[in-house]
Amino acid sequence: MHRFYVAPENWNPNALTLSGSEAHHCRDVLRMLRGDKAVLFNGRGSEITAEIVDFERGAVHLRRLHESNTPPLRCRITLGQAIPKGKNMELIVQKAVEIGASEIAPLISERTIVDVDPASAGQKQEKWQQIAIEAAKQCGQNWLPHVHAPRKVKNFFIDFPVEAGVPTGKSQNLPLKTAATTTFDLRLIGSLQPDALHLKNILAEFSSEHRPLPESVLMLIGPEGDFTPAELALAKSHGCRPITLGPIVLRVETAALYCLSVLCYELL
């Protein structure tokens, strides 16, 4: 069945309605009819199988048939990704949703090639959030990751904890922000430096010292050319452990997906 996203602030199991781009996709693109069934989700774990009962201008009304709830993943993984060139950020957002990231924080590093000015930052955030929505619709993910506004690395550790968890926006395409993540059990940063450790060793060390495994992880991935020494030192000063991804230097998008895959395999 086709899946549609309804923002949490518009979620009403007793009066289900698709509006905006979701209504357009249902009626004008998929050409669904009265009596057709669809799956609606709110990005907060709730999912409803529903039947289309009526159409009106800009809206599709549905009747609830069955409702279920998906529990959140055991570990909240936040990807702090330095924005790469081209459309690679779109690929990273899409695959991060499919793999199981909880939040995505685009970073503007000193070596970031893409020009992100204040005027375009909001547009990029909205575009990436819409990509996350489409990915969640396609892969059956009922917990929608929040894509944060782009920010400079030097501001990340100041702004991010304050911003996390604060409700924002009433747009159909932008979800409310997820539960506050003011601290992380484990903070990691991909590094090409000789002091970087293998992720499996860091996880084994964490498990032996803390038990159980971390329930929230921050994973920072640099741009083409890696983070600068100053940025790496800043991350270390905020508790980030440098990790190596092996002897082969990976492309930015490969590094992000590699780290997320390993973390999800080990922690979810």
Q: What is the mean pLDDT of residues 245-263?
A: 92
- Does residue 169 carry a pLDDT above 50? no
Pick from 198, 182, 210: nearest CA to 241: 198
| Average per-residue pLDDT for the chain | 89
Domains in the chain with CATH codes: 3-69 (2.40.240.20), 76-267 (3.40.1280.10)
Q: Which of 4-8, 117-121, 172-176 has maximum average pLDDT?
A: 4-8
Q: What is the pLDDT of residue 180?
A: 38
Tens-place pLDDT, residues 127-145:
999 999 999 999 999 999 9
Q: What is the pLDDT of residue 161?
A: 57
User: How many angstroms separate the CA atoms of 176 and 230, rounded?
Assistant: 33
Name the residue type at position 205: E
Q: What is the 3-class SS of 108-177, one letter each residue?
A: ECCCCCCCCCHHHHHHHHHHHHHHHHHHHHHHCCCECCEECCCEEHHHHHHHHHHHCCCCCCCCCCCCCC
Tens-place pLDDT, residues 90-125:
999 999 999 999 999 999 999 888 888 877 888 999
Q: What is the mean pLDDT of residues 175-199?
A: 74
Reported as a pLDDT band with limits 50, 70 and 90, residue 247 is: confident
- Does residue 183 carry a pLDDT above 60? yes
pTM of the model: 0.88
